[in-house]
Amino acid sequence: MIAVFQTLKEVIKVTLGNFTDSDNRLYFLYFISSGVIAYFVYFKTKHQGAFLNYIFNKRTWLSKSAKVDYLMLFFNSIIKVVLIGPYLAFGFYLAFYTDDFLARTFGYETITLSTTQTLVLYTLTITLLGDFTTYVIHYLMHRFEFLWEFHKIHHAATTLNPVTQYRIHPVELILVNIKETLFLDWLWDSSIICRHIRSMRLLIWASIFCPFCLCFWEPICVIPA
Residue pair 159/214 in contact (Cβ under 8 Å)? The answer is no
Between CA 210 and CA 74 the distance in angstroms is 21
Residues 6 or more apart in contact with residue 188 via CB below 8 angstroms: 95, 125, 126, 129, 194, 208, 209
Between CA 204 and CA 220 the distance in angstroms is 5
Q: Which of 17-31, 196-210, 211-225 has the lowest mean pLDDT?
A: 211-225
For 100-154, the pLDDT digits (tens) are 776 777 776 666 777 787 778 777 877 787 788 889 899 999 999 999 999 999 9
**H or E element: which one contains 221?**
strand 221-222
Residues 6 or more apart in contact with residue 74 via CB below 8 angstroms: 11, 15
pLDDT value at position 8?
86
Between CA 115 and CA 48 the distance in angstroms is 55
Residue 68: band (very low, low, confident or very high) from pLDDT cuts 50, 70, 90: very high
Residues in the chain: 225
Comparison of pLDDT for 61 and 118, the residue scoring more: 61
Residue pair 194/99 in contact (Cβ under 8 Å)? The answer is yes
DSSP assignment of 12-73? HHHHHHHHH-TTSTT-HHHHHHHHHHHHHHHHHTT-SS-HHHHHS-HHHHTSHHHHHHHHHH
pTM of the model: 0.71
pLDDT value at position 188?
55
Comparison of pLDDT for 7 and 12, the residue scoring more: 12
Residue 209: band (very low, low, confident or very high) from pLDDT cuts 50, 70, 90: very low
